[in-house]
Amino acid sequence: MRSLRHENIYEDIGEIGPYQIFLFSLVGLLAAVPALTGYGFVFIGATPDYRCKIPIAEHDTFNLKDQSHYDSLVEYIPRTRDKIFNKCNIRQNSTDTSEFVPCTEWVYSTEFYDTTMVTEWNLVCSNFHYKSLYMNLHFIGTCGVVLSGILSDRFGRKKIAYILLSLNALVAVLSAILLNTNTFDLAVKRNLFAVLKLLYAITSNVYSIAITLVIELTGPNRRILASNFVAISFVMVSIVLSSVAFFLRNFQMLSIFIACVTCLIPTYFWIVPESPRWLILQKRKTEALRILGKISKSNKKPMNFVEEIESLQNSAVSLYRTSDEKLEFLELVKFFMKKRLYVFRTFILVINWTVISAIYYGISFFTEKIPGDPYLNCILFILVDLVALIFIQMTTERFGRKVPFTVAMTIGGITFILMTFLPSHSVLSTFCALIGKLCIAFALNLSFTITSEFYPTFIRNSVTSLLVGIGRGGSVSSTYIHRFGELYKLYNLPFFIFGASSLFAGLLFFTFMPETKEKTLPENLDEF
């Protein structure tokens, strides 16, 4: 009898077919949740151009009305060396000797946005920290991917994903209600939104579950294609969201749209099956056979291994050696300590996840700092994700994972360093930012596959989620990197930091990480 493995099963029943593609499409839509949660705030919390409101103009507007309007601005608002009106300070009266005081009212540009949370809640100048707080709470909440990964390994991919989807829909509805009501005091609304923003991010941690689920529903030669279904869904939903935001231009209406879409996702997900790999590990042979039977029937392949499933199940479950048949945490730690090479390689993955997350989110969620139409910029920066997926499909099947990943990190690092020496608002600078984002998007999406291929089934989603969660800590740093650059007028410094760290992480990966292309997914510790 041959040594039966999950890979052998998919060789028999087909690595990909109509039913699997149908499931990939359904699971891929889970990516809508992090897309709506992340990119939604790019527009809801956008900061348009603004300045202090002058006291003598009853109906002051950001755009100049006439010469007298301009003269009034010159009298009351100090200007920088670049002749730009101060955004946060104003003279107490129109005399030149009058001392400056902080603004209490502002006027905002309506060139791109009718209303945003920033313009309605005045989250500028002394209140700017609220927006930074919301961004950081989002990144901190996405670190909850660690918990979602552990729970999905313990209770199943489908069950945990469905719970998170339902809770995310609830929080989205509560957020929309808060943003559209005037019942609460402004200070209360700001604090309540902070709580909801954290919960919204925590419940959006379904992306790594989706990646793991689709990879476990196919064979080794179609893993990249399967994971790309999830990534493409993320890109398409983000483009749709940006387009809707362009037509609405109102943060309250946009929050209602996001809530409605989020509520639709749990209504269909119940038809998605559990991972057959996970079911076999849980000794739920009947359920696993039912799912594999549907796949084989769809692919018009016979199921010739039904009796052999039992031996596969026993072999897989034999790795659990405690009384309740679950591997103790300390035993797992001891195993890793014995295999120091894998500990070191895990450390390399931690560095790469941290660097990639910091750069990816540091570019994606700060597109408003790039000159031009923010909606068009956002769509362009999302579209490069789609181009990255195409390049992944074209290169990884031929060259493996290691070389394309390293090349992407290297080119990305070089382009970001080049941006340091270019004018901030030049076309060439924007072009380099797009190339850099393309490379980092390539590395990010490939990282999910590489990580999933590296670890055994029973801890695959836990470790993948742990690494993603640690990486999200890097995304928290991106807000401070941008803020540091603004504080010291070193606007290109963040790009130099991004570039240098990308080169360093890519070099480490190329030097110490193995190739995982067509590698048999390990089922237990002995195969790790």
3-state secondary structure of 126: helix
Per the CB < 8 A criterion, the answer to whether 51 and 122 are in contact is no
pLDDT surpassing 90 at residue 226: no
Strands 100-102 and 89-91: antiparallel
Q: What is the pLDDT of residue 525?
A: 58
Distance CA 217, CA 213 (A): 6
Tens-place pLDDT, residues 257-272: 999 999 998 988 888 8
Amino acid at the residue 179: L
Kindly indicate the confidence band of residue 515, based on its pLDDT and cuts at 50, 70 and 90.
confident
Distance CA 199, CA 168 (A): 8
Q: What is the pLDDT of residue 365?
A: 63
Q: What is the pLDDT of residue 326?
A: 47
Per the CB < 8 A criterion, the answer to whether 310 and 517 are in contact is no
pLDDT surpassing 90 at residue 78: no
Note the CATH number of domain 13-47+115-272.
1.20.1250.20
Q: What is the pLDDT of residue 254?
A: 95
Q: What is the pLDDT of residue 88?
A: 84
Strand partners, 250: 115
Residue with tokens 């590698």: 519
Q: How far is CA 450 from CA 156, 322, 328, 519, in A?
A: 21, 30, 26, 10
Per the CB < 8 A criterion, the answer to whether 426 and 192 are in contact is no
Q: What is the pLDDT of residue 249?
A: 93
Kindly indicate the confidence band of residue 325, based on its pLDDT and cuts at 50, 70 and 90.
very low
CATH superfamily of 319-528: MFS general substrate transporter like domains (1.20.1250.20)
Q: In this structure, what token pair is assigned to residue 447? A: 């990282």
Distance CA 21, CA 6 (A): 19
pLDDT surpassing 90 at residue 406: yes
Nearest to 454, CA basis, from 352, 345, 301: 345
Distance CA 116, CA 46 (A): 6
For the packed helices 457-487 and 340-364, what is the interaxial angle rounded to 10 degrees? 50
Percent of the chain with pLDDT over 70: 83
Kindly indicate the confidence band of residue 163, based on its pLDDT and cuts at 50, 70 and 90.
very high
Contacts of 371 by beta carbon, 8 Å cutoff, 6+ apart: 424, 425, 430
Cα first-last separation, the chain? 23
More confident residue, 460 or 4: 460
For 269-295, what is the mean pLDDT? Answer: 82
Distance CA 362, CA 112 (A): 22
pLDDT surpassing 50 at residue 324: no
More confident residue, 450 or 244: 244
Q: In this structure, what token pair is assigned to residue 399? A: 């060259």
Class of residue 137 by CB neighbours under 10 A (exposed 0-12, middle 13-18, buried 19+): buried
Quickly count: other Cβ atoms within 10 Å of residue 247's Cβ. 10
More confident residue, 195 or 364: 195
Kindly indicate the confidence band of residue 523, based on its pLDDT and cuts at 50, 70 and 90.
low
pLDDT surpassing 80 at residue 494: yes
Distance CA 4, CA 290 (A): 18
Q: What is the pLDDT of residue 121?
A: 94
Amino acid at the residue 69: H
3-state secondary structure of 107: strand
Tens-place pLDDT, residues 45-74: 998 988 888 876 667 887 777 777 777 777
Q: How far is CA 358 from CA 47, 211, 449, in A?
A: 21, 21, 19
Of 210-219, 233-242, 432-441, which range is least confident?
210-219
More confident residue, 407 or 316: 407
Strand partners, 107: 51
Contacts of 311 by beta carbon, 8 Å cutoff, 6+ apart: 4
Give Rg (Cα) of the chain. 26
Kindly indicate the confidence band of residue 2, based on its pLDDT and cuts at 50, 70 and 90.
very low
Q: State the chain's mean pLDDT as an integer.
A: 81
More confident residue, 211 or 197: 197
* Domain boundaries defined on the chain: 13-47+115-272, 50-109, 274-317, 319-528
Distance CA 312, CA 307 (A): 10
pTM for the model stands at 0.80
